[in-house]
């Protein structure tokens, strides 16, 4: 990068250091008790186990694909636990930790990547919208939803805030810039949560942006901050404040969670072909689970019995996921036309009828044989 375009690095908001030391931040005080800290640790361990099991299931041919969150657990769990029951989240396809916080059964996530469901859960029931594969498009969906919340007058202390999750690669998409602009000029109650995991598949961050990502917000007229994305407490405190501000009518905010994708982009990817092992080792020393465990043990908030209990629960969860994933039923072929639109649609009805006729043409094979 040339000197005339180099930008000063923004402050990294951090409450829990990689060595497990707790700090206070004047702008983001965090009130949290021992039980809540233990629950956060449990979340992190179980979410990582979900991810580990899913990768293994894909390698065994039980899933078509899996997008690992390894290394990003703290960013997702911290922000997910900051949400209120009325809040609504718009994820990409890697927010398994956020889904966990919303109470989504991880078997439903596996169903999506096994290809046996078109969605996996009811967004109206959980407040978590469906996974989005198109990069960055969910930022516009979130902004539009937030503008609707605003026009419905559903703000205030018990109102609704909206959060959109996306990665650093999505910031290069026009959709994201349009969402930023719409959110700014409408003062929409939306929080943009960017997990900067350093890599857009094989493209490093320095080839994606000439400025720190959080500073892009200022160009659109709203605040942006960078947090330590491997610090679950910073993620919780800053997201909690951003959501509160949104509910109070103070408009959008961008949170850049500075983290690292310790696994592959997806199970179709081989990161050893484009990044150095030393880089991975550096970030492994900043592991989000290790630092919280160190703090809990040093402060005598957690003992060996608690840690063993969480590990045992993770083992039970892993066993359930392996069993129930393999038991997921195949859908009926015509199910693909269900719930495409909320209301009846003549084009979909015609396509369904044509496909039904096609299936019926296999007189000797039958519907089961052409799946």
Residue-wise pLDDT tens digits, 123-182? 999 999 999 999 999 999 999 999 999 999 999 999 999 999 999 999 999 999 999 999
Round to whole Å and give the CA distance between 65 and 51.
Answer: 12
pLDDT tens sequence across 215-254: 999 999 999 999 999 999 999 999 999 999 999 999 999 9
The pLDDT of residue 339: 81
Task: Work out how many domains the chain is built from and give that number.
Answer: 2
Same domain, residue pair 222 and 244: yes
Which member of 23, 59, 274, 358 is catalytic?
274
Which of the following is catalytic: 49, 261, 291, 293? 261
CATH value at residue 174 = 3.40.50.970
Is 352 among the residues known to form the active site? no
The encoded tokens of residue 144 equal 């539009």
Indicate whether 12 belongs to any domain.
no
> Could you tell me if 265 and 159 lie in one domain?
yes
Helix (H, G, I), strand (E, B) or coil at 288: helix
Is there a domain that residue 9 lies in? no
**How does pLDDT run across 275-316, given as a tens digit for each residue?**
999 999 999 999 999 999 999 999 999 999 999 999 999 999
Q: Indicate if 338 belongs to the active site.
A: no
Query: Which residue range(s) make up the domain with 42?
Result: 34-327
Say if residue 369's pLDDT is above 60: no
Identified catalytic residue from 38, 94, 226, 265: 265
Residues 360 and 304 in one domain: no
Q: How far is CA 257 from CA 227, 298, 334, in A?
A: 5, 26, 41
Helix (H, G, I), strand (E, B) or coil at 252: coil
- 129 is a domain residue: yes
Distance of alpha carbon 220 from alpha carbon 200, whole angstroms: 23
Count each helix (H run) and each strand (E run) in the chain, helices first: 14, 8
Give the rounded distance of the alpha carbon of 68 from its chain centre: 11
Mean pLDDT in residue range 325-347 = 91
* Residue 210 φ/ψ, nearest 5 degrees: -95, -5
pLDDT at 359: 92
Judge if 249 and 353 occupy the same domain.
Answer: no
Q: Model pTM greater than 0.85?
A: yes
Q: Within this chain, do residues 342 and 254 fall inside the same structural domain, yes or no?
A: no
Task: Kindly state whether residues 323 and 180 are assigned to the same domain.
Answer: yes
To 5 degrees, how large is the angle CA 153–CA 150–CA 142? Answer: 140
Annotation marks residue 96 as catalytic: no
């Amino acid at each position: 990068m040339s000197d005339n375009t180099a930008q000063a690095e923004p402050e990294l908001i951090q409450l829990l250091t990689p060595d497990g030391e707790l700090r206070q931040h004047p702008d983001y005080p965090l009130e949290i008790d021992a039980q809540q800290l233990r629950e956060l640790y449990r979340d992190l361990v179980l979410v990582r186990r979900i991810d580990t099991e899913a990768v293994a299931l894909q390698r065994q041919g039980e899933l078509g694909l899996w997008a690992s969150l390894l290394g990003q657990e703290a960013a997702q769990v911290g922000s997910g636990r900051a949400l209120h029951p009325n809040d609504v989240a718009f994820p990409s396809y890697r927010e398994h930790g956020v889904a966990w916080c919303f109470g989504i059964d991880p078997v439903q996530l596996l169903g999506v990547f096994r290809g046996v469901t078109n969605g996996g859960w009811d967004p109206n029931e959980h407040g978590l919208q469906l996974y989005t594969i198109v990069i960055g498009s969910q930022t516009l969906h979130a902004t539009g939803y937030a503008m609707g919340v605003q026009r419905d007058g559903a703000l205030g202390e018990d109102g609704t805030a909206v959060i959109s999750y996306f990665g650093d690669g999505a910031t290069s998409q026009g959709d994201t810039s349009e969402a930023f602009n719409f959110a700014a000029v409408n003062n929409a109650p939306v929080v943009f949560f960017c997990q900067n995991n350093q890599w857009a598949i094989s493209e490093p961050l320095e080839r994606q942006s000439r400025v720190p990502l959080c500073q892009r917000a200022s160009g659109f007229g709203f605040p942006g901050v960078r947090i330590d994305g491997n610090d679950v407490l910073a993620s919780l405190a800053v997201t909690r404040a951003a959501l509160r501000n949104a509910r109070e009518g103070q408009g959008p905010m961008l949170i850049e969670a500075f983290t690292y994708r310790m696994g592959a982009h997806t199970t179709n990817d081989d990161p050893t072909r484009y990044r150095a092992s030393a880089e991975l080792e550096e970030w492994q020393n900043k592991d989000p689970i290790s630092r919280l465990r160190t703090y809990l043990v040093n402060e005598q908030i957690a003992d060996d019995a608690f840690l063993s209990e969480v590990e045992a629960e993770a083992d039970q969860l892993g066993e359930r996921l392996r069993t129930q994933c393999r038991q997921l039923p195949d859908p009926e072929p015509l199910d693909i036309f269900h719930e495409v639109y909320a209301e009846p649609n003549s084009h979909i009805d015609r396509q369904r009828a044509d496909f039904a006729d096609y299936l019926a043409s296999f007189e000797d094979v039958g519907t089961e044989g052409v799946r």
